[in-house]
A and B are shown apart, each in its own frame.
Chain A
Amino acid sequence: MNKIKTIIRKEWAEVFKNRMVIFTVAFLPLLLTALPLGIIFATRDASSRTGEALDSQLPSEMTQSMCPEGVNSAECFQIFMVSQFMMMFMIVPVAIPVTIAAYSIVGEKTTRSLEPLLATPITTIELLVGKCLAAVIPAVLATYAAFGLFALGSWLLVANKMLLSALLDARWLIAIFIVGPLLALMSVAFALMVSSRVSDPRVAEQVSMVIIVPVLVGLFGQMAGLFVLNKQVISSVAVVMLALDALLVYLATRVFQRESILTRWK
């Protein structure tokens, strides 16, 4: 347990001296919070006049599954637009760990400190868990912080209580508090796996970034109206993620073998 803590503290001491990492951890969540808030702000006093026009534009199944009874169509439009950003929020827990995890292992190799580290009595699992948590914790915290800002911002911008509860409903809570950490874990497991298999550290980092692609596909799919992120969809995503994570973590522990990372990385 103590060794895991040592690894986490060490990773943070090292990793947060890197500007690129700070940028990803701090800037990305801020940007992705500012966007939906901007939309709410811009559409805050949409009157029924525009609302009627919009009514016909929005797919009826969407308005039905998304907007509670008694919300006018302009407000429903707001709910719809903001929901679109949910997928974007999901980039945060995926992107942050890739940067940290790739850097933390790559850095270990480029400074040639991996061999002395592996010579200590730390177990492979402790090392993996330490590296993993060092990347997952900031990602999850950044996601929570971003959501907190978003919630606070909407609360300040939207006076309508019903609208507010619709904006910050169960879907968001599932997405942020369950899917988010699961996504972060997936991302880390993938980055760890890639880094222990690939011979060039830079390639490892780039290949790890591939993990963002499914999230982007989801994002564009949602924007194109291929699916609606309702509570059922989000819940199924959470279940699938859980299974996927279990698989990836298992694979990562299989692939991350002391000898191979020591002798493969030249």
Chain B
Amino acid sequence: MIHTENLTKRFKDILAVDGLSLDVAEGEVFGFLGPNGAGKTTTVRMLACLIGPTGGAATVNGFVVGKQDTDIRRNVGVLTETPGMYDNLSAEYNLRIFAELYEVKDVTGQVEKYLKMLGLWERRFDTAGTFSKGMKQKLAIARALLHEPRILFLDEPTAGLDPEAARLVRDFIAELKKEGRTIFLCTHNLDEADRLCDRIGVFKTHMLVVDTPANLRRTMFGRKVVFHLREAGEGSAGVLRTMPFVREVKVVENKLLVTVDDPETHNPEIIRALVNSGAEVQFVGELRHSLEDVYLQLVKNV
């Protein structure tokens, strides 16, 4: 659905996006992560045909960026980073304008559908300027969906929302995902990316890594298993170190932190070895790295 090759954007003396090559499949939720100023918004703007690339090429839904911009605009929905409303017009009229501009057939029906879906129906005649930040954000999401785009660009949809509103928006994105829409999600919320995204790209001017959240954790840190023993010491650690599939063993208090590639297959063997060596195993658990650890590790190294 989205394909880029060496996509590049240079503002006078700033290289904002440097040779991005990426493929996002139909129905995929792609998380686009990166520190402030990484070039995420710039990338979205290029893909939504708001600004032109200075190098490389991209297609969105089969249409070529820079050549078939109107077709692309017709087929994608964009939630911009700072989505402004016409503040002295009503919420409903705000949406009507955009429904008309997006050539929606049933303007009234679509406007009603999304106002209701996002819980703004009761307030539809209030001017957008009187809305809270969260309500404005919901209105902006509604605005991006009126024409039922199959591809959605969401630039930090939950930024600045309270936990409840953020949750609502997140659940809503999950709904959209179920409907099979392709979603390109820029976010700083790693937990959100972890939960919603099929794949994640960590980006800082160029792409650092692209993978599923689970793979990212695994490749960055391996998988760690914690064995709680009644008494842990170098003795039991030594036993495990002789095993070929054990990558690393650390002793912390009464715990052994063991790095293995495939805990499902190897844990039983490890437990057997520990028991045979006389250790008393109290608990076994997986030590999960948060995506945050992965992210910070990646971004630090640039």
Q: Does A118 contact B (CB under 8 A)?
A: yes
Q: Which parts of A89-126 form the interface with B (CB within 8 Å)?
A: 111-123
Residue of A at shortest CB range from B74? A121
Q: Does A44 contact B (CB under 8 A)?
A: no
Segment from A207-215, A231-239, A256-264 that makes contact with B:
A256-264
Q: Evaluate contact between B85 and A122: CB separation under 8 angstroms.
A: no
Q: Evaluate contact between A3 and B100: CB separation under 8 angstroms.
A: yes
Given contact pairs A111-B86, A116-B84, A123 touches B70 in the complex (Cβ within 8 A)? yes
Given contact pairs A13-B89, A111-B86, A263-B11, A119 touches B50 in the complex (Cβ within 8 A)? yes
Interchain CA distance A197-B49 in the complex, whole Å? 20
Given contact pairs A10-B97, A121-B101, A259-B50, A116 touches B88 in the complex (Cβ within 8 A)? no
Identify A112's interface contact among B76, B84, B89, CB under 8 A: B84
Q: Which parts of B136-166 form the interface with A (CB within 8 Å)?
A: 140, 143-144
Q: Does A2 contact B (CB under 8 A)?
A: yes
Q: Evaluate contact between A119 and B78: CB separation under 8 angstroms.
A: yes
Q: Which parts of A156-181 form the interface with B (CB within 8 Å)?
A: none
**Residue of A10, A116, A123, A262 with highest tally of chain B CB at under 10 A:** A116
Q: Does A6 contact B (CB under 8 A)?
A: yes
Q: Evaluate contact between A116 and B78: CB separation under 8 angstroms.
A: yes
Q: Evaluate contact between A112 and B82: CB separation under 8 angstroms.
A: yes
Q: Does A254 contact B (CB under 8 A)?
A: no
Q: Evaluate contact between A119 and B48: CB separation under 8 angstroms.
A: yes
Residue of A at shortest CB range from B94? A113
Residue of A at shortest CB range from B102? A120
State how many residues of chain B have any CB contact under 8 Å with chain A. 31
Give min CB distance, B204 to chain A, whole Å. 21
Q: Evaluate contact between B84 and A113: CB separation under 8 angstroms.
A: yes
Give min CB distance, A20 to chain B, whole Å. 14
Residues of B at the A interface (CB closer than 8 Å) are 11, 45, 48-52, 70, 73-74, 76, 78, 80, 82-89, 93, 97-98, 100-103, 140, 143-144
Give 24 CB contacts A-B under 8 Å.
Answer: A3-B100, A6-B100, A10-B86, A13-B89, A14-B86, A14-B88, A14-B89, A112-B82, A112-B84, A113-B84, A113-B85, A113-B86, A115-B80, A115-B82, A115-B83, A116-B143, A117-B101, A119-B48, A119-B50, A120-B73, A120-B98, A120-B101, A121-B102, A258-B51
What 8 A-B pairs are tightest by C-beta distance, nearest first? A112-B84, A113-B84, A120-B101, A111-B84, A6-B100, A119-B78, A121-B74, A121-B73
Beyond A111-B87, A121-B70, A262-B50, 19 extra complex contacts between A and B, CB < 8 Å = A6-B101, A10-B89, A10-B97, A17-B88, A111-B85, A112-B80, A112-B82, A112-B83, A113-B85, A115-B50, A115-B80, A115-B83, A116-B80, A119-B50, A121-B73, A121-B74, A122-B101, A258-B51, A263-B51
